[in-house]
């Protein structure tokens, strides 16, 4: 059997100090271990600046194959990783996976140096690829694999796992990661540093939001409530975790299953804390739902509102009911859940008036915390196609080192750069310098010790500086 090193690149900045456990690699690692392979996971957060630990691992362990899971902000570090890999092990097969390679398989191979790309979910595809490589068999017919043959790209679409297949997967290989690393780093929930574990209970999202990736497909596939509860029991009673972050696309899409999980948590796990950094669709939540979430131990929840404009909601295909979303926010805050809102400002054709209305929605809401982002037209999304049709720059022209939601080289809106910059600064200043909100933030925050770091991130966002906004041609 093979020695396989799975690598997670990282991107850090003052505005984006966040990581979470590499659940995708842990899931693939569990499948590969079950097949008898020797697996290691290296998280580049351990040696972010110099990658010396990674270099020594390559030299000392000499893996037979390497897998790298990548999102768009991690492309620049992936290039550094590939330079080290090719310097130490020039002939080792390197397989890319994750959202960015799935959307950019040709660039992954031609420009960054992958030998193969797993497009979409990897638990079935990756092992099949490993078997083909070890047996010197052709890989060009494996579903979900992109490869180069005689200078030509060959891409076979992936088949997504069914709900039954998700239930049959082994639990993620928790033993392959350093739990202390994630306990001392800000998590996806953004409410402070502590000992926790991320969990995925479903995959795919049936909504057609124009800015969203397609990695997990647009068909909702849910694990059974019993499977989810057994995983949480194992984490709680065998590994000592009392805090969980649910990182589905839409945990509450199936209300009956959600209730079974939340009631099961109360009966089978006892005193635990739940966080939902992105898993709840706000206009599907009722007051009864919020009450049960709180009873099950929910401490924090984030709601993705994006825009308060009905016109833009329709254009980006999110079609969120803003009134119901605001009701959910109020219910969550009233229930004692620390509540965050995510907003995007600067969609194609968005006017200053529409952007100001979105900022006002956040300001009038009872949210404890609000984050404002610039929409990025990532490759493979409907938003990228929108921008391309408007003859503006697309993902291929973005400087990947700057491609995150606070700094971007693109202004794809109908606003001037000055107007867009002004909206961002004013929204942050007015939201966070409201005395009542400051008091509420400090009193209700699940971890008050995180407040100093929050102040630093606020200052980074609002202090005068030159943003990297350039009007697209």
pLDDT at position 409: 61
Span 414-429, pLDDT tens digits: 898 889 888 888 898 8
What are the respective helix, strand and coil percentages of the chain, to the nearest 5?
A: 45, 15, 40
Give the mean pLDDT of the chain: 87
Report, as an integer, the average pLDDT of 375-403. 67
First to last CA, the chain: 52
pLDDT at position 156: 82
The values of phi and psi at residue 157, to 5°, are: -60, 145
Span 159-215, pLDDT tens digits: 788 889 999 999 999 999 999 999 998 888 788 788 999 999 999 888 888 888 777
Q: Count other C-beta atoms under 10 Å from residue 391's C-beta.
A: 8
Alpha helices in 173-224 (DSSP H): 179-183
Q: Where are the beta strands (DSSP E) in 45-167?
A: 65-69, 94-97, 116-118, 145-149, 152-155
Q: Which comes out higher in pLDDT, residue 435 or 334? A: 334
> Residue 140 to residues 154, 354, 451: CA-CA distances in angstroms?
7, 48, 52
Of 7-16, 319-328, 450-459, the one with minimum mean pLDDT is 450-459
Q: How far apart are CA 414 and CA 141, in angstroms?
A: 45
pLDDT at residue 393 is higher than 60: no
Q: How far apart are CA 186 and CA 188, in angstroms?
A: 7
Handedness of CA 449, 450, 451, 452 (dihedral sign): positive
pLDDT at position 467: 43
Query: What percent of the chain lies above the pLDDT cut of 70?
Result: 90
Report, as an integer, the average pLDDT of 10-35. 88
pLDDT at position 242: 95
Of 84-93, 221-230, 397-406, 424-433, the one with minimum mean pLDDT is 397-406
């Amino acid at each position: 059997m093979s020695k396989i090193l799975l690598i997670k690149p990282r991107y850090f900045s003052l505005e984006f100090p966040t990581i979470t456990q590499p659940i995708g690699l842990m899931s693939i690692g569990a499948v590969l271990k079950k097949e008898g392979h020797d697996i290691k996971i290296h998280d580049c957060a351990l040696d972010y600046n110099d990658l010396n630990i990674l270099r020594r691992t390559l030299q000392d362990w000499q893996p037979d194959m390497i897998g790298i899971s990548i999102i768009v902000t991690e492309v620049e570090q992936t290039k550094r990783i590939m330079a080290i890999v090719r310097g130490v092990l020039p002939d080792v097969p390197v397989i890319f996976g994750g959202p960015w390679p799935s959307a950019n398989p040709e660039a992954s191979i031609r420009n960054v140096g992958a030998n193969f790309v797993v497009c979409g979910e990897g638990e079935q595809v990756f092992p099949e690829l490993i078997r083909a490589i070890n047996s010197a068999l052709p890989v060009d017919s494996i579903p979900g694999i992109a490869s180069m043959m005689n200078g030509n790209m060959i891409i076979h679409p992936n088949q997504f796992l069914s709900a039954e297949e998700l239930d049959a997967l082994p639990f993620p290989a928790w033993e392959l990661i350093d739990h202390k690393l994630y306990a001392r780093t800000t998590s996806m929930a953004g409410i402070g540093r502590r000992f926790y574990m991320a969990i995925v209970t479903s995959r795919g999202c049936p909504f057609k939001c124009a800015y969203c990736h397609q990695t997990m497909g647009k068909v909702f596939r849910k694990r059974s409530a019993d499977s989810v509860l057994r995983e949480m029991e194992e984490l709680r009673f065998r590994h000592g975790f009392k805090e969980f972050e649910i990182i589905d696309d839409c945990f509450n899409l199936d209300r009956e299953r959600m209730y079974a999980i939340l009631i099961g948590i109360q009966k089978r796990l006892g005193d635990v804390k739940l966080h939902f950094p992105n898993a709840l669709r706000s206009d599907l939540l009722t007051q009864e739902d919020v009450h049960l979430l709180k009873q099950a131990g929910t401490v924090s929840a984030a709601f993705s509102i994006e825009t308060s404009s009905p016109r833009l909601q329709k254009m980006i295909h999110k079609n969120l009911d803003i009134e119901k979303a605001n009701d959910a926010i109020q219910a969550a805050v009233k229930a004692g859940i620390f509540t965050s809102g995510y907003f995007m400002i600067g969609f194609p054709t968005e006017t200053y008036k529409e952007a100001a209305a979105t900022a006002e929605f956040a300001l009038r809401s009872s949210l404890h915390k609000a984050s404002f982002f610039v929409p990025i037209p990532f490759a493979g999304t409907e938003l990228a196609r929108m921008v391309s049709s408007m003859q503006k720059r697309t993902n291929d022209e973005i400087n990947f080192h700057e491609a995150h939601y606070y700094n971007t080289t693109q202004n794809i809106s109908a606003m001037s750069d000055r107007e867009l910059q002004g909206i961002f600064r004013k929204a942050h200043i007015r939201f966070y310098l409201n005395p009542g909100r400051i008091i509420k933030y400090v009193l209700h925050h699940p971890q008050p010790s995180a407040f100093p770091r929050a102040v630093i991130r606020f200052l980074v966002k609002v202090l005068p500086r030159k943003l990297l906004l350039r009007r697209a041609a």
